[in-house]
Amino acid sequence: MADEVVLTSLRDVESLRFFHVVCHRDSAARRLGLESVRKTFDAWLDGYGSPRQIYGETGINGFQPIVTEYLPELLCLSIQCPFDDVREALADILDDVKKRGRGLQVPRRLEQGASHFISEKEIVPVDTPDDKTRTLFVDAFLQNNRLEHITQLMGYHPDYLECFLRTQHYLLKEDGPLPFEYRHYIAIMAAGRHQCSYLIKLQSHEFLLQGGDPDWLKGLERIPRKLKDLNEINKILAHRPWLITKDHIEKLTRGKDSWSVSEVVHALVIMAQFHALSSFVFGCGINQEVDQDGGYTFRPPSVSDASEVDYSSDGSSSGENCSEFEGGGLSVLMEKMRALTEAREEEMTQDELLKRFQHVESQNALITTNAQPPSPKSDILCYVDDTTFQYEDFAKRGSASEIPTFRAQDYSWEDQGFSLANRLYTDVGNLLDEKFNVAYNLTYYTMGDNTSVDTTAFRRTIWNYIHCMYGIRHDDYNYGEVNQLLERNLKAYIKTVTCYPERLKKKDYDGVMREFKHSEKVHVNLMLFEARLQAELLYSLRAVMRHMT
């Protein structure tokens, strides 16, 4: 099985390289690339050249037309490329293959659109007329040889997408302490903690494109000792970051295969980024890329295909998904937000604020998800060490004296984490800080169909509630607002996406924030992504600081 996965990844990478000739900003260069692709397909279909060019020794009876290996990527680019000329030309070539392929099977995509939670017609199209979003889509396509579904979903919020793309590119492809193949493999290990096959497949391709050893993709037992040593901190950071101590950092920075502190920080940021990004992928129901296994099929369509995905949300729900604000819905939430905003700040002692934090913390421990974790597939399990280690409620951590609540005022991102990250990994603190701020402050002053809405209280509550789940307390925040603004099933949704994202179902997405637009739900998921990322970094960077002092 491992050999088959590696072979498939190698073929996919070769296909990406083949179509790189159309990945140009300049239209004349794209035209030349398209002509080259057309001539090559003509040669394959008409049998020009040597048999080695036409056939690969991989198919039935020892031979299979080599053209088949390039069809998934051809299909993907004919749908997902942001350049109109490329989409149209490649769609014509694909149609030509159907007509002249002498019995060749031609793939079709399995899912309609970037998300199985959101109808394709409601997602930002690849040829969006919005100039800023289109420019960002083109930039992303040129960086990655593809326009990823994750980018398309973030296209609802171009200001955030711009920060995300800049940070992601810096972490994985620009100057930094770690070798490029290490970066992508660490991303694979991180995504494996939540069984996020979508990210694993994308990063496996990038790993091979950067010259990574294909043998590493067969599993953790094939990788260097230095990378294996990340297993412990990877699983803790993903599920219970409050357990990270300076001892974990010291263990990495000593011995034969030791890490420099700068390398450790680079690795920690990548792991935290991909743990949290897994939450976003599952929270938005992102489909496999068209050219990935699971994104296409060579089977002919059947009658049942049309009913495989139901995008409807008619407002009906089961009892467990019933809103606490059912009587008024969004209007009740907005009134509560307005009251909190207009109310005179109540003077409360630190003891009272602490009690309210502990009350929310203990309530969170009572929120459970009935969904069982999916059984990991072998191509995911090979990247995961200790699958039984999962999120455990911070309130159940045991003795408070051994693992005290993390007080944000004692070690904050703004005062300590930001500067330490920048000092050990140049400029990464600036990029992360900008991304945090954009996600936190992003607003269009709307909620559903309502305009001129101050959403500050709602955004602050979501951010601080996520930190609360990780045992981080903001001394200046009244946690009584959590129970006023977040209904129980929204809390359950937030907890699932943040802590057990692989368990999320479409009914969970449909059952919350029913009057919100999809763009607003995606924004909530962006906040979950960034608040979780910041929480992981606060714990891990504090451990690095203690190691250094």
Q: Is the pLDDT of residue 64 over 70?
A: no
Q: What is the pLDDT of residue 471?
A: 96
Model confidence over 147-158: pLDDT tens digits? 999 999 999 999
Task: Name the residue among 482, 467, 471, 477 with its Cα closest to residue 532.
Answer: 467
Give CA–CA dist 221/60, Å, rounded.
32
Give CA–CA dist 54/64, Å, rounded.
9
Q: Is the pLDDT of residue 60 over 50?
A: no
Q: Are 489 and 366 in contact (CB under 8 A)?
A: no
Q: Is the pLDDT of residue 57 over 50?
A: no
Q: What is the pLDDT of residue 25?
A: 95
Q: What is the pLDDT of residue 102?
A: 73
Tokens of 131: 């100039």
Model confidence over 75-121: pLDDT tens digits? 999 999 999 999 999 999 999 998 887 778 899 999 889 999 999 99
Of 23, 163, 196, 468, the catalytic one is 196
Alpha carbons within 13 A on the beta-carbon side of 123: 24
Residue of 302 and 265 predicted with greater confidence: 265
Q: Is the pLDDT of residue 235 over 90?
A: yes
Q: What is the pLDDT of residue 314?
A: 38
Q: Are 73 and 18 in contact (CB under 8 A)?
A: yes
Q: What is the pLDDT of residue 112?
A: 86
**For the chain, first and last CA: distance in Å?**
47
Q: Are 290 and 79 in contact (CB under 8 A)?
A: yes
Buried b or exposed e, range 328-359, using 16+ CB within 10 angstroms: eebeebbebbeebeeeeeeeeeeeebbebbbe
Under the banding of pLDDT at 50, 70 and 90, the label for residue 345 is: low
Tokens of 233: 């901190």
Q: What is the pLDDT of residue 310?
A: 52
Q: Is the pLDDT of residue 323 over 70?
A: no
Q: Is the pLDDT of residue 321 over 80?
A: no
| Residues recorded for the chain | 549
For residue 324, the tally of other CB atoms under 10 A from its CB is: 14
Model confidence over 425-457: pLDDT tens digits? 999 999 999 999 999 999 999 999 999 999 999
The set of residues, in sequence order, having a beta carbon less than 8 Å from that of 287 and lying 6+ positions away, is: 111, 113, 114, 115, 116, 149, 198, 295
Centroid of chain to Cα 441: 20
Q: Is the pLDDT of residue 388 over 80?
A: yes
Q: What is the pLDDT of residue 155?
A: 98
Q: Helix 456-469 to helix 518-548 angle, to the nearest 10 degrees? A: 50
Model confidence over 395-430: pLDDT tens digits? 888 777 789 999 999 999 999 999 999 999 999 999
Q: What is the pLDDT of residue 402?
A: 81
Question: What does the DSSP assignment read for 163-206?
Answer: HHHHHHHHHHHSS-SS-HHHHHHHHHHHHHTTT-HHHHHHHHHH
Percentage of the residues of the chain whose pLDDT score is greater than 90: 75
Q: Is the pLDDT of residue 303 over 70?
A: no
Lowest mean pLDDT among 228-232, 346-350, 512-516, 529-533: 346-350
Q: What is the pLDDT of residue 42?
A: 87
Q: What is the pLDDT of residue 28?
A: 97
Task: Name the residue among 466, 481, 541, 431 with its Cα closest to residue 162.
Answer: 431
Q: What is the pLDDT of residue 75?
A: 96
Lowest mean pLDDT among 57-71, 179-193, 271-285, 385-399: 57-71
Q: Is the pLDDT of residue 171 over 90?
A: yes
Q: Report the largest interatomic distance among the alpha carbons of the chain, rounded to a whole angstrom.
A: 83
Model confidence over 472-487: pLDDT tens digits? 999 999 999 999 999 9
Model confidence over 193-221: pLDDT tens digits? 999 999 999 999 999 999 999 999 999 99
Buried b or exposed e, range 277-301, using 16+ CB within 10 angstroms: bbbbbbbbbbbbbbbbbebbeeeee
Give CA–CA dist 200/239, Å, rounded.
18
Tokens of 380: 């995911």
Q: What is the pLDDT of residue 176?
A: 96
Residue of 11 and 421 predicted with greater confidence: 421
* 196 in catalytic set: yes
Helix (H, G, I), strand (E, B) or coil at 447: strand
**Amino acid found at 162:** E
Phi, psi angle pair for 250, to nearest 5°: -60, -40
Looking at residue 512, the DSSP 8-state letter turns out to be S
Tokens of 54: 């036409």
Indicate yes or no: pTM above 0.85: yes
Q: What is the pLDDT of residue 424?
A: 97
Question: What does the DSSP assignment read for 41-90?
Answer: HHHHHHT-S-HHHHEETTSGGG-EEGGGGGHHHHHHHHHH-S-HHHHHHH
